[in-house]
C-alpha cells in the first residue's frame, strides 16, 4: 500500500523518471472471486467482481523505439528496445526482474504477430494500492492498466476481451504462471455493484447486479498474509490433475462433465484425481446456481453455495490452509451469510458475505482467533464491487 493515492504516486514516479508530465493515466482494479475457483482453466464458469483497489499507469511517449518501466515495487527502471521484446519472451524472461515481466510481457503480447514498426517508444510509471500476494490479482491489475494504456497510445483498437487475453498471455508466457483468464477478465470488465458471470470457454460475460449495498451487506476480506505463488507448485499440479481427469473421461475439458457423470468418473480414476474432478464439476454447478439464486432470491440466499464451495476446496481440491479454514469458520460463527477462500489457494485471502453491522465484531473475532492459534495477524478489510479498467486522465 502507498501512503498517497496510486495516481499521485504514479505521476510523481513518472516525473522523476522522465522529467516531464505524463500524457495520460490509465488504471485497472484487482478482483475478488465470489465463486468459481479453478474452473477457469477447465473452460468452466466463474463469478468474480472487480474491487476498489487499483493499479495506475502514468505513460509518456519517447522518440526512440524503447520501453522503460518503473514502479513503486522497485524504483530501479527497466529499459528494453521494443524490437528486443520478441527475443526476451518467453525464453529469456529470467533476464528481466520479476515485477517488470508483467508490463513488458503485456507490451510483448500486444505487439507480437503484428507489424510493430509504428509503435512509439514509451515510459511507464506504475503504482498500486492492490495488496500484493493477497490473492486479489495485483498482477491482473498491472496487466489491465498497462494493456489499456498501450492500446490507446499505440492505436491498436483492441476491445476489452482482447486486452484481457493479452494480459493472460503475459502472465502465462512472460511471467510463467499457468493461470486461467478469470482475473484479467474481471479487471477489464468490472462494474460498480456488479459481478461478472463469465463462461471461460466462449468468453461470453454477463454483468450481474449483486445488490449487496441495498441488502446492507459487505464483503469482508481476510488476507491471511500466508503468501502464495502460482508460478510453481500446487497450482500447476492441480491443473495437471484436471487435465488427467478430462483425458480419462474422454473430454476436452472438465467443463464437459456434468454432476450426473461423477459416479462413472469415480469408477474410472484414482481417488485423488476423482476428488479434483469432483471439485471442478460441482463448482461449475455452484457458479450457475449462485447466479440464478442471486437473481431469483437476492444475495442473502447464496450463503450456502459459498460455504459448499469452501468445503469442496478444503476437502476435495485440497488448496485451503489452516489459516483460511479458521477465517471462514470464525466468520460464519460470527454470523456471516457465507464464507470461502478466494483465488488460487495455498494462502492468500478468504471472503465473508456479511451484514454491515456485524463487520466490526467479526473483524475482532477473526483477529482474536488468529492470535489464539498463534498465527500471524491477518489484514482484514471490506471491498466493494467497482469499475474495471479505464483511462483516468
Ligand atoms: C488464480 C488464477 C486464476 C484462477 C484462480 C483460481 O487467481 O490466476 O486464473 O485459476 O487462481 O480460481
| Ordered structural domains, the chain, with CATH | 6-206+387-391 (3.30.230.10), 211-383 (3.30.70.890)
- Interval 346-368 mean pLDDT: 97
What angle, rounded to 10 degrees, do the helices at 160-169 and 98-111 form? Answer: 130
Per-residue confidence (pLDDT) for residue 53, from 0 to 100: 98
Confidence of residue 230 (pLDDT cuts 50, 70, 90): low
**Looking at the chain, which runs of residues are DSSP E strands?**
24-35, 45-62, 66-71, 74-81, 121-128, 194-199, 205-209, 217-223, 338-342, 349-355, 379-383, 390-391
Per-residue confidence (pLDDT) for residue 118, from 0 to 100: 84
Are 264 and 252 in contact, with CB atoms under 8 Å apart?
Answer: no
Whole-number percent of the chain with pLDDT over 70: 98
Per-residue confidence (pLDDT) for residue 231, from 0 to 100: 46
Catalytic residue among 40, 43, 123, 183: 183
Per-residue confidence (pLDDT) for residue 229, from 0 to 100: 60
Q: CA–CA separation, 155 vs 135, rounded Å?
A: 32
Q: CA–CA separation, 33 vs 31, rounded Å?
A: 6
Beta bridge partners of 354: 218
Whether pLDDT at 209 is above 50: yes
From 185, 227, 230, 239, give the residue whose CB has the most ligand 1 atoms within 8 Å, as the site to mutate: 230
H or E segment to which residue 355 belongs: strand 349-355
- Per DSSP bridges, beta strands 121-128 and 66-71 are parallel
Per-residue confidence (pLDDT) for residue 277, from 0 to 100: 98
Confidence of residue 31 (pLDDT cuts 50, 70, 90): very high
Are 149 and 61 in contact, with CB atoms under 8 Å apart?
Answer: no
Output b/e per residue, 58-84; b: 16+ Cβ within 10 A.
Answer: bbbeeeebebbbbbbbeeebbebebee
Per-residue confidence (pLDDT) for residue 116, from 0 to 100: 75
Q: CA–CA separation, 216 vs 324, rounded Å?
A: 25
Atom of ligand 1 nearest to the CA of 37: 12
Are 29 and 387 in contact, with CB atoms under 8 Å apart?
Answer: yes
Where does residue 367 rank: exposed (0-12), middle (13-18), buried (19+ CB within 10 A)?
Answer: middle
Q: What residue owns the CA closest to ligand 1's atom 2?
A: 179
Q: What residue owns the CA closest to ligand 1's atom 8?
A: 179
Per-residue confidence (pLDDT) for residue 195, from 0 to 100: 98
* Three-state secondary-structure class, residue 353: strand
Are 223 and 348 in contact, with CB atoms under 8 Å apart?
Answer: yes
The predicted-structure confidence for 373-387, as pLDDT tens digits, reads as follows 999 999 999 999 999
Query: How far does the centroid of ligand 1 lie from the alpha carbon of residue 155, in Å?
Result: 30
From 231, 241, 344, give the residue whose CB has the most ligand 1 atoms within 8 Å, as the site to mutate: 344
Per the annotation, the verdict on 40 as an active-site residue is: no
Average pLDDT, the chain: 96
Are 363 and 222 in contact, with CB atoms under 8 Å apart?
Answer: no
**Cα–Cα nearest to 286, from 197, 360, 161:** 197
Amino acid at each position: 500500500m502507498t501512503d498517497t493515492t496510486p495516481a499521485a504516486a504514479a505521476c510523481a514516479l513518472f516525473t522523476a523518471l522522465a522529467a516531464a508530465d505524463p500524457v495520460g493515466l490509465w488504471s485497472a482494479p484487482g478482483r475478488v472471486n465470489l465463486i468459481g475457483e479453478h474452473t477457469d482453466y477447465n473452460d468452466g464458469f466463474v463469478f468474480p467482481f472487480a474491487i476498489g483497489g487499483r493499479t495506475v499507469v502514468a505513460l509518456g511517449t519517447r522518440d526512440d523505439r524503447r520501453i522503460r518501466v518503473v514502479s513503486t515495487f522497485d524504483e530501479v527502471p527497466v529499459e528494453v528496445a521494443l524490437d528486443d521484446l520478441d527475443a526476451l519472451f518467453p525464453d529469456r524472461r529470467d533476464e528481466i526482474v520479476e515485477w517488470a515481466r508483467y508490463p513488458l510481457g503485456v507490451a510483448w503480447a500486444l505487439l507480437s504477430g503484428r507489424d510493430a514498426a509504428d509503435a512509439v517508444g514509451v515510459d511507464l510509471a506504475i503504482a498500486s494500492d492492490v495488496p500484493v500476494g493477497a490473492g486479489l490479482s495485483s498482477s491482473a491489475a498491472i496487466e489491465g492498466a498497462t494493456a489499456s494504456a498501450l492500446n490507446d497510445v499505440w492505436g491498436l483498437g483492441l476491445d476489452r476481451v482482447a486486452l484481457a487475453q493479452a494480459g493472460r498471455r503475459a502472465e502465462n508466457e512472460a511471467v510463467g504462471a499457468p493461470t486461467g483468464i478469470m482475473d484479467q477478465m474481471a479487471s477489464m470488465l468490472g462494474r460498480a455493484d456488479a459481478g461478472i458471470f463469465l463462461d471461460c470457454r466462449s468468453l461470453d460475460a454477463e454483468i450481474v447486479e449483486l445488490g449487496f449495498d441495498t441488502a446492507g451487506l459487505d464483503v469482508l476480506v481476510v488476507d491471511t498474509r500466508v503468501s502464495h505463488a502460482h508460478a510453481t507448485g500446487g497450482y500447476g499440479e492441480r491443473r495437471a490433475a484436471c487435465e488427467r481427469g478430462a483425458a480419462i473421461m474422454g473430454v476436452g475439458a472438465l467443463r464437459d462433465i456434468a454432476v450426473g457423470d461423477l459416479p462413472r468418473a469415480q469408477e474410472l480414476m484414482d481417488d485423488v484425481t476423482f476428488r479434483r474432478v469432483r471439485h471442478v464439476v460441482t463448482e461449475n454447478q455452484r457458479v450457475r446456481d449462485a447466479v440464478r439464486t442471486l437473481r431469483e432470491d437476492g444475495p442473502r440466499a447464496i450463503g450456502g453455495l459459498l460455504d459448499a464451495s469452501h468445503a469442496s476446496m478444503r476437502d476435495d481440491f485440497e488448496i485451503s490452509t489452516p489459516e483460511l479454514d479458521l477465517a471462514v469458520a470464525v466468520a460464519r460463527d460470527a454470523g456471516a451469510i457465507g464464507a470461502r477462500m478466494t483465488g488460487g489457494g495455498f494462502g492468500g485471502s478468504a471472503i465473508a458475505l456479511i451484514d454491515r453491522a456485524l463487520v466490526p465484531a467479526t473483524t475482532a473475532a477473526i483477529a482474536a482467533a488468529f492470535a489464539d492459534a498463534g498465527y500471524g495477524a491477518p489484514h482484514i478489510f471490506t471491498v466493494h464491487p467497482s469499475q474495471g479498467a479505464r483511462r483516468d486522465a
